[in-house]
């Protein structure tokens, strides 16, 4: 099989070809947050490396947790987390 060189950022159609899955399936998975990507206006874009990591991972949850680590040094993260728990009416720690 010939290897095709793909760009680092993929369209939905390119991911469909890469994974050999229907566009509709991938679009649904992306919109549900099960496939790592970003919606920019009416278009979806995917990092090839994120798709490869997602394929290797045991679950999409582990990929999400790895990506969340990228925000560990964000100064606004603590305030954001606090406000989320306040809106939910829950404590950040189990009591």
Q: Where are the domains of the chain?
A: 9-88
Encode burial over 30-53: b for 16+ CB neighbours within 10 A, e otherwise. beeeebbbeeeeeebebeeebbee
pLDDT at 1: 44
| Helix residue spans in the chain (DSSP H) | 12-19, 23-31, 48-56, 60-68, 77-88
Q: What pLDDT, in 10s, does the model give residues 36-83?
A: 999 889 889 999 999 998 888 756 566 566 666 666 677 787 788 888
**22-28-34-38 Cα dihedral, nearest 10 degrees:** 100
47, 36 contact by CB (below 8 A): yes
Higher-pLDDT residue of 69 and 34 is 34
């Amino acid at each position: 099989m010939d290897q095709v060189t793909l760009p680092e950022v993929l369209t939905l159609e390119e991911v469909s070809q890469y994974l050999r899955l229907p566009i509709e399936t991938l679009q649904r998975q992306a919109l549900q947050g099960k496939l790592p990507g970003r919606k920019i206006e009416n278009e979806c874009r995917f990092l090839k490396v994120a798709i490869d990591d997602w394929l290797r991972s045991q679950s999409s949850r582990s990929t999400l947790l790895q990506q969340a680590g990228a925000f560990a040094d964000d100064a606004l993260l603590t305030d954001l987390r606090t406000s989320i728990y306040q809106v939910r009416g829950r404590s950040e720690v189990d009591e």
